[in-house]
Amino acid sequence: MTATPAGGRHGRPWRAAGAAVVVMLAMVGAGLVGASLRSAPAPRPPQPLSQAGPDVRATAGPADTGVDQNSVDPDTGPAGEGQPAAGLGRATPTTIAIPRIGVDAPIMTLGTNPDGTVQVPPLEQALSAGWYSPGASPGETGNAVIVGHVDSAKVGGPAVFFELGSLRPGDAITVSRDDGSQVAFTVEEVKAYPKTAFPTELVYGPNDRAGLRVVTCGGQFDEKAGSYRDNVVAFATMTG
């Protein structure tokens, strides 16, 4: 199975990608960016204020992120502060900066594994983030997805997105791209989801705006499995 249909970045309906793609991307929640290969969890990463229940609708659309999609008039002209901006052309992201949590990290390009699950950065490079390249690039219309580890024994502790759960609505994220542009995003919501209920379509599904999903692990550390039980997702929209 190829990864190309997964992103839906050119406006294709998500369900056109097929049920197999949905299932494979949902599997990312089972092993995404949290296997730290350590024997005991310490310290525990900060958790979002919002915790989704186990019955979260994994097939919900972008409007169900909890953000009021009607709060901004799309016909008011050029985007101002806090307003969604028009999508850009495609370009490869190179760095991500999140001032509130002290992130200023390089971004590597990722795809899918042979089994169809999403690749993650190697644990040896746990201070770098990774961009899911079959989907939208940051700034394009659609949901751009950037993943990163929460911690790793390979780097001796906290990794690139250890503090992701402490982000709040209104926080800024800036992604630099290889075309020389810097894209500004504003965080709308940060949630934790059980890995058994990963919100596949909210993260990888279509969006009529230029969205960003930043994903890592969180929740309780399962010592037997060697990974965290939840995924933490920051939902953001381009505002400049």
pLDDT for 144 equals 98
* Domains of the chain, first to last: 4-52+92-220+228-238 (2.40.260.10)
Residue 163 pLDDT class (50, 70, 90 cuts):
very high
Question: ∠116-218-109 over CA atoms, to 5°?
Answer: 40
Please report the beta strands in 99-136, taking only residues with DSSP state E, as ranges in sequence order: 103-110, 129-132
Q: Quote the tokens at residue 8.
A: 């839906």
User: Which residues have CB under 8 Å from 77's CB, separation 6+?
Assistant: none
pLDDT (tens digit per residue) in 189-210: 999 999 999 999 999 999 999 9
Residue 230 pLDDT class (50, 70, 90 cuts):
very high
pTM, rounded to two decimals: 0.75
Contact call for residues 171 and 185 (beta carbons, < 8 A): no
DSSP 45: P
Assign 210 to helix, strand or coil. Answer: strand
**How far, rounded to the nearest angstrom, does the alpha carbon of residue 72 sit from its chain's CA centroid?**
23
Dihedral sign, Cα of residue 71, residue 51, residue 208, residue 236: positive
pLDDT for 42 equals 54
pLDDT for 41 equals 45
Question: Higher-confidence residue: 110 or 82?
Answer: 110
Find residue 216's DSSP bridge partners. 232
DSSP 43: S
